[in-house]
């Protein structure tokens, strides 16, 4: 049996790990009686931790919000993860978190032991943050969506001038935007919503729990990335990469698009961009041989660019204009034209 002080720390860690615990479940995890659990709960309360309790078949304990924030217990990996996350938040894709994230980071780094501070410093020196160019999201909104997702509570919200009722499953950040994967109750299907367009409303009758569903294909992130690649970009693209999928996965970020193996030495990438010229630049930087499957306009652009690059190294010239924007027209790469709006393509929509 654990000593009292160690057991209290273990109990606190369990209460922080999920929302609700029954007394029996806590007793089993701590290898003590339910009476001991009750006594330990009272000890934590006397130390300033606000712990709610309820009776009955569904009763139990929940770590609540008190007047002040008591200490949290973090293991080594959690402490490093929080420090890295706070640094990313201070750089900010979430509106309103920059200053508080920086203040929290300063407090955390002051208390980190040297072995962990060295790890955080190494990560800081080896990484650089580049602006993603996507819209920012209100921190309070993300927190509310995350809480509803964790607690399996339905949410009511306005989205593009329509009222929605949904069961939130997962928040996914693609490096450019935040998305909410949810089961649309009225439509009876999975939908992916841009978090920056969600306006939460009070649910009639209060929060209502739901039973979690298996995400499409068993992988929520892959489902969102597939939808983003096919509909959220103005220029969706399918690219065959002439390399094993393991090699490609090791080099490309998951937010680059959806990868599907097509053989031992090839795979297919579903990706996209707002302009063809951006796609061309991305494909030129990945370091793998590739074949453009769609769109045909991208093939035309790459052909034109290849001629210009060849002329640049051979001292020749290419007739027909200059490179200045989006698609090929009469030998010239110009303007902001695209290969069509992926967001308006016909077919089943999963990105709202």
Q: Rounded to whole angstroms, how far apart are CA atoms 114 and 106?
A: 15
3-state secondary structure of 242: coil
Average pLDDT, the chain: 79
Tell me the two tokens of residue 18: 């999920």
Per-residue pLDDT, 75: 76
Residue 3: band (very low, low, confident or very high) from pLDDT cuts 50, 70, 90: confident
Average pLDDT over residues 287-298: 94
Whether the per-residue pLDDT at 18 is higher than 60: the answer is yes
Per-residue pLDDT, 223: 82
Q: Residues near 235 by Cβ (< 8 Å), separated by ≥ 6?
A: 272, 273, 274, 275, 276, 278, 279, 295, 298, 338, 339, 340, 342
Per-residue pLDDT, 337: 39
Matching residue, tokens 């978190």 = 97
- Dihedral of CA atoms 203, 205, 210, 215 in degrees, nearest 10, equals -20
Per-residue pLDDT, 241: 96
Whole-prediction pTM value?
0.54
Residue 345: band (very low, low, confident or very high) from pLDDT cuts 50, 70, 90: very low
Cα atoms found within 13 Å of the Cα of residue 166, Cβ hemisphere only: 27
- pLDDT tens column, 106-122: 667 766 788 887 777 77
CATH 1.20.1260.10 for the 229-342 domain, yes or no: no
Least Cα distance to 134 among 192, 174, 97, 102 occurs for 174
CATH topology of domain 137-213: SH3 type barrels. (2.30.30)
Matching residue, tokens 């090929």 = 328
- pLDDT tens column, 218-229: 888 878 877 776
- pLDDT tens column, 45-93: 888 888 888 877 667 898 876 645 566 667 788 778 887 777 777 656 6
Residue 186: band (very low, low, confident or very high) from pLDDT cuts 50, 70, 90: very high
Per-residue pLDDT, 65: 67
Domain with CATH 3.30.70.250 in the chain: 229-342
Cα angle: 201, vertex 202, 207; to 5 degrees: 125
For residue 182, list its beta bridge partners. 168, 191
Per-residue pLDDT, 292: 96
Average pLDDT over residues 1-26: 82
Matching residue, tokens 């293991």 = 75
Question: 224 vs 343, which has greater pLDDT?
Answer: 224
Residue 198: band (very low, low, confident or very high) from pLDDT cuts 50, 70, 90: very high
Backbone angles phi, psi at 79, to 5 degrees: -65, -45
Question: 102 vs 331, which has greater pLDDT?
Answer: 102
- pLDDT tens column, 305-336: 999 988 888 876 655 544 444 443 333 333 33
Q: Are 241 and 261 in contact (CB under 8 A)?
A: no
Q: Return the CATH architecture of domain 4-63.
A: Orthogonal Bundle (1.10)
Q: Rounded to whole angstroms, how far apart are CA atoms 178 and 175?
A: 8
């Amino acid at each position: 049996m654990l000593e009292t002080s160690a057991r209290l720390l273990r109990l606190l860690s369990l209460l922080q790990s999920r929302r609700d615990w029954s007394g029996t479940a806590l007793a089993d995890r701590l290898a003590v009686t339910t009476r001991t659990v009750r006594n330990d709960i009272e000890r934590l309360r006397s130390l300033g931790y606000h712990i709610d309790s309820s009776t009955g078949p569904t009763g139990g304990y929940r770590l609540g919000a008190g007047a002040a924030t008591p200490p949290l217990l973090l293991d080594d990996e959690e402490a490093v993860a929080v420090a890295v996350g706070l640094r990313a938040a201070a750089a900010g894709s979430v509106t309103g978190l920059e200053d508080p994230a920086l203040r929290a980071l300063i407090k955390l780094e002051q208390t980190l032991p040297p072995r962990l501070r060295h790890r955080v410093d190494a990560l800081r020196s080896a990484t650089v943050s580049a602006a993603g160019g996507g819209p920012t999201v209100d921190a309070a909104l993300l927190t509310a969506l995350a809480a509803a997702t964790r607690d399996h509570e339905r949410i009511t919200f306005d989205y593009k001038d329509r009222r929605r009722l949904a069961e939130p499953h997962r928040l996914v950040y693609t490096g450019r935007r935040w998305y909410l994967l949810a089961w649309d109750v009225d439509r009876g299907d999975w939908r992916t919503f841009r978090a920056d367009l969600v306006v939460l409303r009070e649910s009639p009758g209060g929060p209502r729990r739901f039973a979690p569903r298996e995400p499409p294909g068993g992988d929520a992130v892959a489902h969102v990335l597939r939808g983003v690649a096919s509909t959220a970009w103005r220029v969706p693209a399918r690219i065959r990469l002439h390399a094993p999928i393991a090699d490609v996965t090791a080099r490309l970020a998951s937010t680059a698009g959806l990868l599907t193996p097509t053989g031992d030495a090839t795979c297919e990438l579903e990706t996209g961009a707002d302009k063809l010229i951006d796609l061309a630049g991305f494909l030129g930087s990945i370091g793998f041989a590739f074949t453009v499957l769609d769109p045909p306009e991208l093939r035309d652009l790459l052909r034109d660019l290849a001629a210009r690059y060849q002329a640049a190294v051979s001292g020749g010239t290419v007739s027909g204009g200059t490179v200045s924007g989006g698609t090929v027209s009469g030998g010239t790469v110009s303007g902001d034209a695209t290969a069509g709006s992926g967001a308006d393509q016909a077919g089943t929509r999963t990105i709202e």
